């Protein structure tokens, strides 16, 4: 009870702090406008009729806000037939476990900021970090960890600003189950809400269930429109527009009710009003055998270039034999490419393994019709972890889908690796509860380096290690390559040519999942404040 009270007090402090920041912003604007009014009045009396003097508007720093992320709800099996789009769920299996780990890093020379993990919409606190009273020495930093917090509902984390900047923080959710229809491993970053995002790699064929989860952590209602693309083009259907997600609520939508029998689907989520988070919970069941679980996260926005890493393939012969069995054709690894525009895409795919570039049939040139989702086969690649560098003459969105498993009738696992953007400074990768995490990097355009700094379970920040990333290769760092002991998180920064990365998670048996590295630290921002009218 005492811990719960402390957690609630910490959460209240975060919200009160955010309120003070907002009040300060408004008050500052009032002062500036008041001063501006004085200047205008003076110029009306004393200014000459014409002046060539041009004074740019002054810049004022925007106060850092609270960092918010929404964590997916634990996976649950649909009850009933699953007809329509509204989802109803059965109880989870007895062995299913879902936990969230949160890590927060304070600014240089700043105290540790307050942070809280709570139930979305209800305000019930799961765990909290008290704001630190100690200030580190100049140049030093502090970190805090909320490790492996068991959750049963949609949760959200908040981290207060630190040192005048938005905190460096992240949280991940890990799901494991060793029995039942949803046996497997699934993981996802807790997502910063947005108003426009793409999710690629969903399936709505027989035995495959894809549920889109829309969460609104803001205080403003969100109205969501969906665009769904499949192999034959955009799917026009009722019920995909004007979906209202109230503040603090979650909407669960069965994608088969909007676009059935799709082997590879791409979903664009756009919201007006409040921003939302969006995940697709993908499960596969082949008869009575679990065929994999995964949480699909948003991929990088459509662009003529996409880079995906962390594609960990098993032996090609094992996959081929399994795919030949009845009902198992979907285990073959593919690259899904969505072309949302009106022009066909000419795609050039380069594949990088640990030893360098791998030659592809036809030079890696493929064509994908406009408005469709194409599938580029990856089944002939040897066993290993790969990076995919995709270039096109039009904007595309992409994700790689692959499976692990060797025998029909036994558990098979599923993974979806989304495209990510170029790495910058201070990306915080958090270790997934219930799995073993490694970091995978590639530098397609030239040699680069990454700095990795482990954070222990007790919040201790370890010494940074610098690792060279050779041009055109895929580099995998295991836990021992990054730091000592059990790590709760890793700070990642990149320098040199463009570097792309992902977090590869493995678990018991064939368990596998891939997470994009979250955005890096945003720093301070300033805006010009006009003093005229």
- For residues 136 and 320, the model is more confident at 320
Determine the Cα–Cα distance for residues 333 and 331; give it in Å rounded to an integer: 6
Q: What average pLDDT does the segment 389-411 reach?
A: 96
CA end-to-end span of the chain: 55
pLDDT tens profile 88-135:
555 556 789 999 999 999 988 888 999 999 999 877 999 999 987 777
pTM for this model (two decimals): 0.86
| Selection from 109, 115, 102, 136 nearest residue 18 by Cα | 115
- Which pLDDT belongs to residue 473? 98
Residue spans of beta strands (DSSP E) within 65-166: 67-71, 97-105, 115-119, 125-129, 143-150, 155-159
- Which pLDDT belongs to residue 61? 58
pLDDT at 226 over 90: yes
Cβ-contact 296, 201 below 8 angstroms: yes
pLDDT tens profile 479-530:
999 999 999 999 999 999 999 999 999 999 999 999 999 998 754 444 444 4
Determine the Cα–Cα distance for residues 207 and 204; give it in Å rounded to an integer: 8
- Which pLDDT belongs to residue 8? 46
- Which pLDDT belongs to residue 57? 66
Phi and psi torsions of 224, nearest 5°: -110, 135
pLDDT at 189 over 70: yes
Q: Are strands 448-456 and 413-418 parallel, antiparallel or unpaired?
A: unpaired
Distances (CA, A) of 525 to 66, 108, 110, 426: 14, 17, 18, 17
| Selection from 160, 198, 105, 130 nearest residue 430 by Cα | 105
Q: What average pLDDT does the segment 349-356 reach?
A: 98
- Which pLDDT belongs to residue 12? 53
Return the structure tokens found at 35: 């001063």
Q: What is the pLDDT of the chain when averaged over all its residues?
A: 87
Distances (CA, A) of 368 to 217, 331, 347, 375, 417: 37, 21, 7, 8, 20
Q: Is residue 61 in some structural domain?
A: no
Q: Is residue 36 in some structural domain?
A: no
- For residues 485 and 7, the model is more confident at 485
Give the list of residues 6+ apart from residue 55 with CB closer than 8 angstroms, or none: none
Cβ-contact 171, 433 below 8 angstroms: no
- 38 by DSSP, 3-state: which? helix
In the block, residue with structure tokens 């970190």: 143
Q: Is residue 289 in some structural domain?
A: yes
Determine the Cα–Cα distance for residues 186 and 178; give it in Å rounded to an integer: 12
- 354 by DSSP, 3-state: which? coil
- Which pLDDT belongs to residue 23? 33
Domain that includes residue 505, residue range: 67-516
| Selection from 462, 481, 441, 505 nearest residue 140 by Cα | 462
> In percent, how much of the chain has pLDDT > 70?
83
pLDDT at 35 over 90: no
CB atoms within 10 A of CB 151: 21
- Which pLDDT belongs to residue 67? 93
Opening angle at CA 202, ends 330 and 194, nearest 5: 155
Cα dihedral 389→420→175→225 (10° resolution): -110
- Give every strand in the sheet of 143-150, ordered side by side: 143-150, 97-105, 168-177, 184-189
Distances (CA, A) of 529 to 19, 31, 164, 516: 22, 12, 20, 36
Q: Is residue 391 in some structural domain?
A: yes
Q: Is residue 1 in some structural domain?
A: no
Give the list of residues 6+ apart from residue 417 with CB closer than 8 angstroms, or none: 308, 309, 310, 311, 399, 400, 401, 402, 502, 514
pLDDT tens profile 431-474:
999 999 999 999 999 999 999 999 999 999 999 999 999 999 99
Alpha helices in 47-143 (DSSP H): none
> In percent, how much of the chain has pLDDT > 90?
74
pLDDT at 180 over 80: yes
Return the structure tokens found at 299: 């991929």
pLDDT tens profile 261-293:
999 999 999 999 999 999 999 999 998 899 999
Q: Is residue 20 in some structural domain?
A: no
Q: Is residue 293 in some structural domain?
A: yes
Cβ-contact 413, 176 below 8 angstroms: no
Q: Is residue 8 in some structural domain?
A: no
Determine the Cα–Cα distance for residues 499 and 107; give it in Å rounded to an integer: 24
Determine the Cα–Cα distance for residues 303 and 371; give it in Å rounded to an integer: 14
Element (H, E) at 28: helix 2-46
The count of domains in the chain is 1
Count of residues making up the chain: 533
| Selection from 523, 505, 420, 463 nearest residue 198 by Cα | 420
pLDDT at 16 over 70: no
Cβ-contact 498, 309 below 8 angstroms: no
Dihedral sign for Cα 304, 200, 167, 120, please: positive
- For residues 181 and 302, the model is more confident at 302
Q: How confident is the model at residue 1 (pLDDT cuts 50, 70, 90)?
A: very low
Return the structure tokens found at 242: 């004007």
pLDDT tens profile 40-71:
333 333 444 555 555 566 655 556 689 999 99
């Amino acid at each position: 009870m005492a811990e719960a009270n402390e957690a609630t007090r910490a959460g209240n402090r975060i919200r009160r702090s955010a309120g003070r920041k907002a009040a300060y912003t408004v008050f500052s604007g009032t002062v500036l406008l008041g001063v501006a009014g004085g200047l205008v009045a003076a110029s009306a009396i004393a200014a000459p009729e014409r002046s060539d003097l041009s004074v740019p508007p002054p810049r004022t720093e925007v106060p850092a806000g609270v960092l918010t992320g929404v964590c997916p709800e634990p996976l649950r099996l649909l009850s009933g037939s699953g007809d329509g789009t509204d989802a109803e769920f059965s109880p989870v299996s007895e062995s299913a476990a879902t936990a969230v780990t949160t890590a927060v890093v304070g600014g240089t020379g700043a105290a540790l900021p307050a942070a809280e993990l709570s139930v979305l919409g209800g305000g019930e606190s799961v765990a909290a970090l008290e704001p630190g009273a100690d200030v580190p020495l100049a140049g030093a930093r502090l970190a805090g960890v909320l490790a492996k917090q068991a959750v049963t509902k949609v949760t959200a984390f908040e981290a207060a600003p630190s040192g005048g900047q938005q905190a460096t923080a992240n949280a991940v959710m890990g799901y494991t189950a060793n029995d039942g229809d949803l046996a497997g491993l699934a993981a996802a970053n807790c997502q910063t809400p947005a108003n426009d995002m793409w999710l690629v790699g969903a399936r709505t064929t027989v035995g495959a269930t894809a549920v889109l989860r829309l969460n609104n952590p803001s205080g403003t209602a969100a109205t969501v429109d969906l665009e769904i693309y499949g192999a034959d083009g955009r799917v026009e259907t009722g019920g995909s527009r004007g979906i209202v997600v109230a503040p603090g609520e979650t909407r669960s939508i069965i994608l088969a009710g909007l676009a059935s029998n799709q082997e590879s689907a791409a979903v664009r989520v756009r919201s007006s009003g409040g921003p939302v988070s969006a995940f697709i919970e993908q499960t596969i069941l082949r008869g009575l055998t679990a065929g994999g679980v995964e949480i699909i996260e948003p991929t990088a926005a459509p662009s003529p270039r996409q880079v995906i890493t962390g594609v960990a393939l098993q032996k090609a012969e094992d996959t081929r034999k399994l795919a030949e069995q009845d009902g198992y054709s979907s285990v073959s690894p593919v690259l899904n490419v969505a072309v949302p525009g009106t022009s066909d895409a000419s795609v050039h795919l380069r594949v990088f393994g640990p030893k360098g570039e791998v030659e592809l049939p036809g030079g890696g040139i493929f064509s994908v019709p406009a408005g469709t989702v194409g599938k580029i086969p990856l089944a002939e690649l040897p066993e290993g972890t790969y990076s995919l560098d995709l270039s096109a003459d039009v904007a595309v969105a992409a994700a790689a889908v692959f499976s692990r498993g060797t025998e029909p009738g036994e558990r098979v696992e599923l993974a979806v690796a989304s495209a990510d953007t170029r790495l910058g400074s201070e990306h915080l990768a958090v270790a997934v509860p219930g799995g073993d995490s490694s970091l995978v990097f590639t530098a397609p355009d030239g040699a680069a380096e990454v700095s990795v700094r482990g954070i222990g379970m007790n919040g201790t920040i370890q010494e940074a290690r610098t690792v060279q990333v050779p041009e055109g290769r895929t580099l995998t760092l295991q836990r021992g390559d990054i730091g000592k002991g059990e790590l709760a998180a890793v700070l990642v920064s990149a320098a040199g040519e463009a570097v792309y990365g992902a977090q590869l998670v493995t678990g018991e048996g064939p368990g596998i999942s891939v997470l994009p590295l979250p955005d890096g630290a945003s720093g301070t921002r300033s805006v010009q404040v006009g003093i005229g009218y």
